[in-house]
Amino acid sequence: MGKMILTVMAAGGLESGLVSERTKASLKVARERGTVFGGRNAQSDANAADAVAFAETLRPVIDEIVAANGPNVSTHVIASELMRRRLRTRTGGKQWSAMQALRLLRRLGERITEAP
């Protein structure tokens, strides 16, 4: 029984190595053909523009939250307040995270004070 398990594990490791080699070889061929992986493209630029436009629609709300809580309001408070007001995220979600609030502030060009 132990030999069989060892054999199966070894075969799995071998297959994993073969898949890795095939993938690396394919990527090398694609790069040689001039394929560019990742980076900016028309769709990513359009997504970024949409995100900025959405952030602008929330500027009055963010201004109210900052006015009510002070200029050093945390992103957690902003996210909580956006949820309390039942405002949807850009993708239609109901939950706001502190990271989403931080990105929203950055898109609006708001100065962010880091916590000590």
pLDDT of residue 99: 96
Q: Is residue 116 part of a domain?
A: no
Number of folded domains in the chain?
2
Residue 90 shares a structural domain with residue 57: yes
Instruction: Find the domain containing 14 and state its range.
Output: 1-37
For the cut 90, the answer to whether the pLDDT of residue 113 exceeds it is: no
pLDDT at 115 over 50: no
Residue 116 has pLDDT above 50, yes or no: no
33 and 55 in a single domain? The answer is no
Percent of the chain with pLDDT over 70: 83
Tokens of 87: 């405002």
Handedness of CA 94, 95, 96, 100 (dihedral sign): negative
Q: What is the mean pLDDT of residues 85-102?
A: 95
What is the pTM for the complete model shown?
0.64
Residue 13 placed within a domain = yes
